């Protein structure tokens, strides 16, 4: 399997123009071996650092040795289970586990199970090498220090500020039915992607209410990119909605930086 090297964007020069969000639809993941699908590059999504791809592994399949020479990465175990060999150690990823892979590290994916597996990879350019970090969802989803409870939704901090990295932090958000993000928020120093892994709903990405021109339905496998300074509320419908959020940039989560967000106060929040 030939995996394309990570595509690195030249830094986008800041201007008064806020870049728009982009919707990337789900794709057919059927494969007889190992398949890598690039979901977006920084250029395609009008971002500075963040890229995303997806591995599909048939039962019994093993990838070639992989390496992103200039990027740090997070693997998200979406469907099935895989083993990841890196630095002489093997990590078993159960559903919703995450694994941080340092810049320049060689790794290999194996699916020893009887069902296909799908793994999402988010990457960002990095200057430094940090330790591998495996986050077990079975553990983290029971630890109150890893959960942020909001009205009608829970946020699971899978790769948080205490973990060493240059740019990445990430987690999962689980919406109950008929909920929305409140208050809307944006970021001056973070770009982000939401990757929808269960359910269906809707999402907006906009610079200001007067310029709200991106409104889309989202379903399992879809993802949306969020350049800096865009508000990005999500709406669940008649079923629970789950998504990965992955940030590149300054390393904080909005609710830990601004307590009004946790309390649902105000019409909008900028961090």
Q: Within 13 Å of residue 200, how many CA atoms lie on the same side as its CB?
A: 6
Strands 82-86 and 133-135: unpaired
Structural domains of the chain ordered from first start: 22-251 (2.60.120.10)
pLDDT digits (tens, 9 = 90+) for 48-92: 999 999 999 999 999 999 999 999 999 999 999 999 999 999 999
Q: Tell me the Cα Rg of the chain.
A: 18
Distance spanning both ends of the chain, measured CA to CA: 41
Measured CA to CA, the distance from residue 164 to residue 122 in angstroms comes to: 16
Q: Within 13 Å of residue 177, how many CA atoms lie on the same side as its CB?
A: 3
pLDDT digits (tens, 9 = 90+) for 96-154: 999 999 999 999 999 999 999 999 999 999 999 999 999 999 999 999 999 999 999 99
In order, the DSSP letters of 93-129 are: EPTT-EEEE-TT-EEEEE--SSS-EEEEEEEEE-SS-
Residue with tokens 């093993």: 62
Q: For the residues 147-173, what does the mean pLDDT come to? A: 98
């Amino acid at each position: 399997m030939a995996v394309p090297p990570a595509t690195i964007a030249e830094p986008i020069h800041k201007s008064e123009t806020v870049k728009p969000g982009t919707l990337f639809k789900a794709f057919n993941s059927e494969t007889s071996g190992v398949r890598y699908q690039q979901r977006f590059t920084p250029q395609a999504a009008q971002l500075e650092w963040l890229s995303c791809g997806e591995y599909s592994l048939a039962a019994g399949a093993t990838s070639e040795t992989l390496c992103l020479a200039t990027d740090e990465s997070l693997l998200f175990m979406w469907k099935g289970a895989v083993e990841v060999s890196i630095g002489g150690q093997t990590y078993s990823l159960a559903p919703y586990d995450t694994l941080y892979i340092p810049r320049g590290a060689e790794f290999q994916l194996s699916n020893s199970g009887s069902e296909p597996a799908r793994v999402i990879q988010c990457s960002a350019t990095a200057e430094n090498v940090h330790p591998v970090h495996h986050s077990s969802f079975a553990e983290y989803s029971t630890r109150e220090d890893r959960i942020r409870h909001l009205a009608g939704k829970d946020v699971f901090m899978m790769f948080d500020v205490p973990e060493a990295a240059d740019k990445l932090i990430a987690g999962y958000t689980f919406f109950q039915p008929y909920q929305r993000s409140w208050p809307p928020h944006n970021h001056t120093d973070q770009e982000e992607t939401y990757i929808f892994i269960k359910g269906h709903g809707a999402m907006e990405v906009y610079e200001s209410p007067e310029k709200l021109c991106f409104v889309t339905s989202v379903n399992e496998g879809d993802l949306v990119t969020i350049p800096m300074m865009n508000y990005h509320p999500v709406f669940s419908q008649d079923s629970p909605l789950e998504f990965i959020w992955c940030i590149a940039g300054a390393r904080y989560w909005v609710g830990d930086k601004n307590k009004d967000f946790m309390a649902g106060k105000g019409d909008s929040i900028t961090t």
